[in-house]
Amino acid sequence: MAVVSVGNDLQTPIEVKLRSGDWQVVYPQKSWDVDVSDVVATSVEIRLRENPALKGSCKVTDGSSVKGRDRAEARELTREGKRREEAQMRTEAMIQEAVTKWRSATFVKSLSIFIGLDLPILILSVVIPPGSALGAAVLEFLALVSGIPFIALGVVFSWPRLMDSAFGNYAVLFRFGFRLLGFLALALLLLQTVQHALQGLGFRGKLRERHPRTRAAVRGQLAWEYAGAWESLVSQGRNGEVSAAVVFLPEGTDDYGQCDSIPEAEGLPGTCWCTPLYGEQKPWGCRWFTKWRENIETAVQSGAELEVYYFQNRVGKGKVESFDTAGDDNLHREKVNQKQRDFEESPEFQQALDAGLGNLSKEPRGDGSSQYSREARRLFLASLSETEREYLATAEGLGNSQKAEVAWLEKKCYTYWEVDVCT
pLDDT given at position 152: 79
**Alpha carbons 169 and 297: distance in angstroms, whole number:** 35
pLDDT given at position 202: 41
- Burial status of residue 37 (CB atoms within 10 A of its CB: 0-12, 13-18, 19 or more): exposed
Quick: pLDDT tens for 2-40.
677 788 888 888 888 877 778 889 898 888 887 766 655
The answer, as to whether pTM is greater than 0.75, is no
pLDDT given at position 226: 52
Contact indicator for 128, 143 with CB cutoff of 8 Å: no
3-state secondary structure 336-361: HHHHHHHHCCCHHHHHHHHCCHHHCC
pLDDT given at position 325: 94
**Alpha carbons 289 and 402: distance in angstroms, whole number:** 11
- Burial status of residue 153 (CB atoms within 10 A of its CB: 0-12, 13-18, 19 or more): buried
Quick: pLDDT tens for 129-170.
876 767 778 888 888 888 788 787 777 666 655 555 555 556
pLDDT given at position 223: 37
pLDDT given at position 407: 95
pLDDT given at position 191: 84
Please identify every stretch of the chain with a pLDDT value under 50, giving residue numbers as ranges.
Answer: 60-64, 201-224, 238
26, β-bridge pairs? 14
Q: How many CB atoms lie within 10 A of CB 178?
A: 21
Contact indicator for 382, 49 with CB cutoff of 8 Å: no
